[in-house]
Structure 1
Amino acid sequence: MAGQFLLLVFVFFMVLAAAKDAMSFTIPNWLVGAMALTFPLAAGLLGLGWMEFGIHVGVGVVALLIGMALFAPGWIGGGDAKLIAAAALWFGFPDALIFLAKSALMGGVLAVALIMLRRAAPATGLPQRWLTGTLLAEGAPAPYGIALAAGAMWTLPSSQLFALASL
């Protein structure tokens, strides 16, 4: 029961990260840190062995390196890179690969949605100053935390951790 609760905590963290990113284009370090620090407790409560735990940690480290590689040329933000790593830590192998693929697909959906919404925003009649600093502002960054959260929610029901929580 406690393991299932911690999976809900993971979901809460991902949704909160998406909301914070959508509102401020930032993902707070404390949030990603709390997500990463909650994983060992969840792993223990869900019965992950030391070998499996180590694989999850290794996957998280590799995901952080991938995130840093995507951050370096400016393709994603620093918070996004850290969120990828924290979520991958929870998913382990091979679920983290599925998470990354689904997040990439959701990133494409997010990009198309933002393009459409930003093109439609002037038709609302709202003054431009009201749109500045929002998702609808022309040239605003894409809050990729939304795509990462969607990818995580899509992946979680078929993940190893979810199966362990269902036992």
Structure 2
Amino acid sequence: MTSCILILQVAAALFFLAAALNDLATRSIPNGISLFLLVDGAALRLLHGDFAAVCGAALLVFLLALFCWFRGWLGGGDVKLLAAGMLAFPLADSADFIFLTALMGGGLALIYLFLHRVVKAPQGARAGKSVLARVARAERWRIARRGPLPYAVAIASAGLFLLLRR
């Protein structure tokens, strides 16, 4: 059973990482990543025996995040990822997950505010040769124009921190 829990925790870490990388590259989070994280987290909660309590907390977070989405403060993918991510942790870690997500989000916002001052928008229509070069070019463009933050990076950072803490 311990090895099964470890495998599920590693899978959760990989789903968090995939969501962050995808959001950074495209400013979207595929529904499949949130769904797989939800299923993975549900399996973890069933193995730990705290499924109902954590589902209640996740539903509350989903509703609060949905309110933020209605206000334009969060993207829809962020709402789903945040609620699904709640299931990756015991109820005792729920407040830590939300607090760390907010803290990481604030740090991310400060980084982007700083970068806006120092990063210039790319000129011309040159395309990079690699995917990484194209992503970097697109990110420079977003930073220069004060585009939306890749908030999945904050959510994933909080999730990975808590998973690695175990």
User: Normalising TM by the smaller chain, what interval?
Assistant: 0.7 to 0.9
> 2:112 aligned with 1:114, yes or no?
yes
Question: Per-residue deviation at 1:31?
Answer: 0.8
Match for 1:147: what amino acid?
A
Contact conserved, 1:104 with 1:147, CA < 8 A, in 2? yes
Cα deviation for residue 43 of structure 1 reads 3.3
Deviation per CA, 1:17-69, whole angstroms, max 9, x where unpaired? 0011111111111110111112233334xx322xx111111111111111101
**Structure 1: tracts of 5 or more residues without a match:** 163-167
Give 1:147's match in structure 2, choosing from 137, 146, 154.
154
- Shift >6 Å, 4+ stretches: none
| Counterparts in 2 of 1:120 and 1:36: CA distance versus 1, 3 Å | same
Tell whether the 8 Å contact from 2:69 to 2:75 is kept in structure 1 after alignment.
Answer: yes
Output the amino acid matched with 1:144: Y
Structure 2: 5+ residue runs without aligned partners? 127-135
Length-normalised TM-score, structure 1: 0.82
Aligned residues: 153
Shift in Å, 1:136: 2.7
Change (3 A) 1:129 1:31: same
CA RMSD of aligned residues (A): 2.0
Task: Give the deviation of 1:88 after TM superposition.
Answer: 0.9
Q: Displacement, 1:86? A: 0.4
Q: 1:152 to 1:11 in 2, by over 3 A?
A: same
Seq. identity, %: 27
1: CA distance, partners of 2:124 / 2:118: 13
CA distance in 2, matches of 1:54, 1:43: 8
State whether residues 57 and 92 of structure 1, in contact with CA within 8 Å, keep that contact through their aligned partners in structure 2.
no
1:12 CA displacement: 0.3
